[in-house]
Amino acid sequence: MRKPIDPRAVMFVCFPLFIFTQLPFLAERSVRPFAPSRPRYEGGAIVIPGNRESIARIISAYFLGIAAVAVLVYGFVTHYPLQAATYAAVALFVIYWDGTRRPISDLLIALRDRQTTTLTPEGISFHFPQPPSIEENDHDTDVTILWKDNVHVFSIIHDDLNLFGNTTHPGPWSICSHHIGITYTGLDTLMRHFNDHPQDRPLLATPNGLDLVNQILTKAHKTITNPTKQ
């Protein structure tokens, strides 16, 4: 007679599988911020592309959905459908709560649009894609801050990047910190440099500005990876 499979086997199979499905999103959130930014010269400005958090989140959600179906099948094969259905339901709840509520439209948005930070002689502009279905849509998609306003990063609270400026335009301004492809230290260093060195602003309209931006970001990156070597 065939020995029945221990019901705990379903748990031992599904939990590592569920964790594995989240690796794309976890890598984008934890590893990517420490990777160097990749600015490029484009159309008389320096453009810094944002991260791929939206795509990573949706890919993880798709993987988790596939894993939930696989667990259901495994549960029926091993004759523990109720236990498997419970774990699959938990996975589907996680997808709805922190993955995607409109899988197709969210994926199309993530593939078509991406956050960018653009540096020009006049100021810094942030473009944000339409937020996915799980994020609140209460931020502007395009924000421009002029260098003459002397704006800098003041604080980061949850998903909001709080900025303060001079006495004429004191702020505070709040922009969404999601998807920005620069560390907060790098962004603050860039803003303070061009606030304090107006003679460098015209370089942002030329390819030479790319070298300057890379130098600034590299220096800021070192303060994160090697904080004691300052």
Looking at the structure, do residues 201 and 213 belong to the same domain, yes or no?
yes
Query: Which residues constitute the domain of residue 138?
Result: 114-225
| pLDDT surpasses 70 at 13 | no
pLDDT, mean of residues 77-93:
86
Can you tell me which residue has the tokens 């029926």?
76
Looking at the structure, do residues 18 and 96 belong to the same domain, yes or no?
yes
| Number of domains within the chain | 2
Establish if 46 belongs to a structural domain.
no
| pLDDT surpasses 70 at 217 | yes
Nearest to 117 by CA among 149, 154, 142, 150: 142
Burial of 173 (0-12, 13-18, 19+ CB in 10 A): middle
Domain final residue pick, 93, 110, 127: 110
- Cβ proximity of 187 and 152 under 8 Å: no
Looking at the structure, do residues 145 and 177 belong to the same domain, yes or no?
yes
Looking at the structure, do residues 99 and 125 belong to the same domain, yes or no?
no
Establish if 2 belongs to a structural domain.
no
Q: Name the percent of the chain in helix, strand, coil, to the closest 5.
A: 50, 15, 35
Tell me the pLDDT band of 3, cut-offs 50, 70 and 90.
very low
Looking at the structure, do residues 193 and 102 belong to the same domain, yes or no?
no
Looking at the structure, do residues 86 and 143 belong to the same domain, yes or no?
no
Q: Please give the pLDDT value at position 139.
A: 67
Establish if 203 belongs to a structural domain.
yes
Looking at the structure, do residues 25 and 83 belong to the same domain, yes or no?
yes
| pLDDT surpasses 90 at 160 | no
Looking at the structure, do residues 12 and 98 belong to the same domain, yes or no?
yes
- Residue 144 three-state SS: strand
Looking at the structure, do residues 188 and 204 belong to the same domain, yes or no?
yes
Q: Please give the pLDDT value at position 138.
A: 63
Q: What is the pTM of this model?
A: 0.78
Tens digits of per-residue pLDDT, 184-208? 888 889 988 999 999 999 999 999 9
pLDDT, mean of residues 101-126:
90
